[in-house]
Each structure stands twice: as structure tokens, then as C-alpha cells.
Amino acid sequence: DARVTQTPRHKVTEMGQEVTMRCQPILGHNTVFWYRQTMMQGLELLAYFRNRAPLDDSGMPKDRFSAEMPDATLATLKIQPSEPRDSAVYFCASGLRGFNEQFFGPGTRLTVL
């Protein structure tokens, strides 16, 4: 069945290292979201794309985070350099313009030591 996939599922890294997270949206979905979830802040939007074009990345710390969609089947979120405060679960979600539902991937649990 159609699902959003994310890799890796878990990542432990040291402060200062680069982290790359990948997301494969559901085939045919033209809208992709990156959210971050922490206990303190809950789920927060980092960035979103429609038809591979970034529409809003105001939730991302621009100096260290970058998000791209190299093609319609792949979205990436990079952190360079990573910091302990980036420790969180990062969710990718996809959907279709004109429809309400966003389908979430299983998330990448990131721990920065």
C-alpha cells in the first residue's frame, strides 16, 4: 500500500556533524512537508514544497538547515553543523493540493550528542 517512507529511522551523531534525512512521498503527491516534533514544542513546520518548489521555509534555522527536492520522489533535509538542540523526531508528510489529508512518514529520530 502507498506510504511515505523516511530514512534513516534513527540517527545518533555528534555535535558538529552533518545529518541528512530523506523522504520518499507517496507517488503522485505534489505537496511535501517537513515537521519537527519535540516534547517541549510539539509538532512544528520546518518547510514545505509544492511541485518541488519551496513555498515556506520560515520555520527552519537558515544558517544550518536546508531542504530540497531533487526530484518528485525524493525530499531531503540537511543539518550542518548539527547541535544537541536539534535532537527531535523529524517527520515528512505528503499530500495532494486540493485535498485535506496529510500522510505522515514514520519519522527520523535524531539524537545529537
Binding positions for another protein, rule: CB under 8 A: 31, 33, 35, 41-45, 48, 56, 91, 95-107
H or E element in which residue 93 lies: strand 88-95
Report the DSSP pairing between strands 88-95 and 74-79: unpaired
Q: Which three cell numbers stand for residue 67?
A: 531542504
- Closest approach of Cβ 81 to another protein, in Å? 27
Q: Which is nearer to another protein, 15 or 85 (CB)?
A: 85
CB nearer to another protein: pick between 48 and 65: 48
Strand-pairing partners, residue 94, are 32, 103
Q: For residue 31, what are the CA distances in angstroms to 12, 77, 105?
A: 29, 15, 13
Measured from the CB atom, the residue of 37 and 66 that comes closer to another protein is 37
Q: How far is the CB of 9 from another protein (least distance, A)?
A: 10
The strand pair at 108-112 and 10-13 is best described as parallel
Min. distance of Cβ 35 from another protein in angstroms? Answer: 8
Instruction: Between 17 and 73, name the residue whose CB sits nearer to another protein.
Output: 73
